[in-house]
Structure 1
Amino acid sequence: MTGWTTHEGLAVALPRANVDTDQIIPARFMSASRAEGYGGFLFADLRDGDADFPLDRHPDASVLVAGPNFGSGSSREAAVYALVDAGIRVVVAESFADIFAGNAVNNGLLPAAVRDAAEVLEALGDGTAEASVDLEKGTLTIGGQTHGFDIPDIWRQKLINGWDDIDLTRAHLDDISAYRHRRATDAPWVWAGDGTSSAG
């Protein structure tokens, strides 16, 4: 996964609250191989029969602005896959479901929690606007208006470096190794043997 610090792209509004993961990718598509790409399944039921669906009108959009509680429902990571495979790099909402937000960060997708997201939705309306996101500053600029967003420092680090949870753990290998050696010396009775081979 490639890390990033800034993103510039087209923003489009999805003025819906409580968009759950089954709306993002319906369960019947879950048997598809990830290698085939999940982007074609994104919002399949919402798009069905709606010729005016925002992402159909603006297929090049990479910043999606939605209502509060985005990503609620089941914990399916495929919901994030569908967004990423469709070219979405940032989702802006007032709030996100916790599991969805964690899955998003692990796949390079920013869940930008913007307190005044409702104002951004209203300003976008049915149209689009150029958007710019700065991870280090924690700012989102849409249509010339700048908004701050909240993101834990560890999430910022993972997005900038392109890390998932395993990569984050690997970044601390020296500390982990040092702890093993200390533990083997201070409490050799913990190890199955004499502690030497296990901590080596």
Structure 2
Amino acid sequence: MIRVRGAIGVVLCAISLTACSGVTSGSPVPVSGAVTTTAPPTTVTTVSTAGFDRKVCAGEDGLAQRGQGFYPTYRQLMQSGGKGMSISPVELAAQLAGLTTVAAEGDGIDGSAIVDQAGSDIRLPVSTMIRDADRLAQHYADVAKGGLSANSDMTPIITSFTNALVACTRAGYQPTWFKPEELVRK
């Protein structure tokens, strides 16, 4: 049995905030009556992390490409509240293993050098997602070999996958397959 503890509400809340927000990461937020000062430009940092943000979220080997395989399972878990989920441990392990390769170039399996160069708004949620996916991929690979019970809590990966999708969406790199409106419980 696959469990999803309390993550549905948190996830839907995060998705709702993302869908309704007109402010993207790094955009100035107007404040009435605020005093404006001019600070030295920080374009070097912004430009360098922006390129890595794009690679991690929308690049050829980014979340938009590597997360697509797990998304149908994620969508089904969100829509059913974690109930009635049937997927083989081997298939789930493969989907999760795909998430661990976000930003790994080509056939590589470690994209941490690129993820580490992204801005913290992208780096932290994507790193957490990769860690959670790696743990569960190993677990389900063991389940497939008959070593463990398939009863596992999917809450960490559901939460971290959502946070990574929300972070990329806020940065302007929403994957085309990520449709928050279809994640509501049926």
Structure with more contact order per residue of length (Cα contacts < 8 Å, sep ≥ 6): 2
Pick the TM interval, shorter chain: under 0.3
Q: TM-score, with normalisation over the residues of structure 2?
A: 0.24
Q: Which has the higher helix share?
A: 2
Q: Which has the higher strand share?
A: 1
Instruction: Tell which structure's C-alpha radius of gyration is larger.
Output: 1
